Amino acid sequence: MSDTLTQPIPANIDAVPPGRGLHRWSILIVCLVWPLIWVGGQVTTYDAGMAVPDWPGTYGYNLFLYPYQTWLFGPFDLFIEHGHRLLGALVGIASIVAVAFAFVSEPRVWVRSLSVVVLIAVIGQGALGGARVVLADRTLAMVHGCTAEIFFTLCVTLMVVTSRWWWAQSANSPRSLLQVSSFRPSGGLIALVGVVLALAYLQVLLGAQLRHVQPTASPGGFKHLVYTHIATAFLVLSLAAVAAWKLRSKAIGRQVRSAAGSEKAEANQNGCGDLTLSRPAMLLVLFVSLQITLGLATWVARYGMPLFAQTNPSMASYLVKSQAFAESLIITGHVATGALVLVTSAFLLLRLVRANYSRRPEWVAS
């Protein structure tokens, strides 16, 4: 046994369990941000970014005092644009409360700093969206959409690092005797999921360019973007499937050994390897598969049936309907599911890294 593993575990700030309020509030923020991205996607789909020409107010009114009758029963583009602003303001308020929770109950300085970063990020997102309106710049709309995905990832990161699971992996956690298993993800597996995360964000960037096609874009350049977007999607699916297979096989193998009595059953139920990692990996594969399906449906909704499908008379008769509500939900659903792919990749990567640096079995056994 190495000297490193037999050394006494030094006291550190993780020995103090954080308050649960910050974690619950961070979950609320995550639950608000995904609809915010969805509504923002609808704004782009309907080209409603300038439905309200002023900012930060709405047609001269305070954002929160704009007549609800006009908002709810007015034009649809006004409804989604003003609704997007209200939901963004709600996320901002929730982020302020999260910072308050962090400084009251969170003992880890770096987590308190992360909560402040989340607040700064949402303020920056609001300012970027406002600049898009004031300057009437479509390029800023594209940047606004791309940075929204980064903000969503930051919110999920805050949720993960304040969770009970994350704390349970601490060397000084009283629950670590029950919740730290001997499974330690390999560096190759962590790198694999890191590549998936990077490719998932590359997909966000490519998709943003396809949604915000510049007037100067050439047909050849657009075609190249489409092919790259499709190829990268299947690459993400393949890598995510490999990661899920590796983690699932580990989980099943450890369950079998636990049933045979060679390992503690608690490790399979609560440990840092096993099901707590394989389940989000399987969910990632599901999201990527759904994303590819919605991507194909998005192409049909925007450009019509591909040539190979037009041999079927029923498919050949399909017509693209401009501003059709059902089609807009498919297109925006493709954007929103892409955000889920990104944050699920980040969620899995964070757990893998935490599992790799959790307390070693020799520390637990003593």
Q: What is the pLDDT of residues 23-39, one digit of tens each?
A: 999 999 999 999 999 99
271: confidence class by pLDDT, cuts 50, 70, 90: very low
- Percent with pLDDT over 90 in the chain: 55
Q: pLDDT for 298-313, tens place per residue?
A: 888 877 666 555 566 6
Same domain flag for 109 and 194: no
87 is a domain residue: yes
Burial 124-139 (b: 16+ CB within 10 A, else e): ebbebbbbbbeeeebe
What is the model's pTM?
Answer: 0.85
Residue 173 confidence (pLDDT) above 90: no
C-alpha torsion angle, residues 228, 229, 234, 238 (rounded to 10): 90
Boundary residue ending a domain (133, 162, 191): 162
Together in a domain, 215 and 255 = yes
Beta strands in the chain (DSSP E): none
pLDDT score for 176? 43
**Cα–Cα distance, 134 to 86 (Å, whole number):** 18
Residue 192's pLDDT band, with cuts at 50, 70 and 90, is very high
Domain count, the chain: 2
pLDDT for res 274: 58
Higher-confidence position of 314 and 241: 241
Phi, psi of 75 (to 5 degrees): -60, 150
> If you average pLDDT over residues 278-282, what whole number do you get?
91
pLDDT of residue 11 exceeding 60: no
Name which of 209, 245, 202 is nearest 341 in CA terms: 202
Burial 163-202, CB ≥16 within 10 A → b, else e: beebbbbbbbbeebebbbbbbbbeeebbebbbbbbebbbe
Residues 129 and 238 in one domain: no
The pLDDT mean for the chain works out to 82
Of the pLDDT bands very low, low, confident and very high (cuts 50, 70, 90), residue 107 is: confident
Is the model's pLDDT at 273 over the cut of 80?
no
Is the CA virtual torsion 161, 162, 166, 167 positive or negative?
Answer: positive
pLDDT-derived band at 18, boundaries 50, 70, 90: low
Q: Are 180 and 169 in contact (CB under 8 A)?
A: yes
Query: Which structure tokens are listed for 149?
Result: 């995905």
Span 242-249, average pLDDT: 89
Residue 244's Cβ-count burial label (10 Å; 0-12, 13-18, 19+) is buried
> Measuring CA to CA, how many Å separate 155 from each of 127, 258, 340?
18, 35, 12
CA distance 110 to 98: 14
Residues 267 and 131 in one domain: no
Treating both helix axes as pointing N-terminal to C-terminal, what angle do 109-135 and 138-161 enclose, rounded to 10 degrees?
A: 160
Whether residues 140 and 245 share a domain: the answer is no
3-state secondary structure of 61: strand
pLDDT at 316: 54
Nearest to 120 by CA among 85, 96, 144, 103: 96
d(C-alpha 255, C-alpha 275), whole Å: 9
Average pLDDT over residues 293-297: 92
In this structure, what token pair is assigned to residue 354? 């935490």
Spatial contact of 170 and 176, defined as CB atoms under 8 Å apart: yes
Q: Residues of the chain with pLDDT > 70: what percent?
A: 76
Tell me if 189 is assigned to some domain: yes
Same domain, residue pair 200 and 316:
yes
Considering the domain boundaries, does residue 298 fall inside one?
A: yes
What's the rounded mean pLDDT across residues 252-273? 47
Higher-confidence residue of 160 and 108: namely 160
Residue 236 and residue 326 in one domain: yes
Residue 167 domain-assigned (yes or no): no
Position 45 in a domain: yes
Q: Which DSSP state fits 35?
A: H
Residue 180 has pLDDT above 70, yes or no: no
Query: What is the domain range of residue 40?
Result: 16-162
Average of per-residue pLDDT across 212-229: 84
pLDDT attached to residue 307: 59
Q: Do residue 143 and residue 83 come from a single domain?
A: yes
Please say if the pLDDT value at position 172 is more than 80: no
Hey, what are 236's tokens? 């993400």
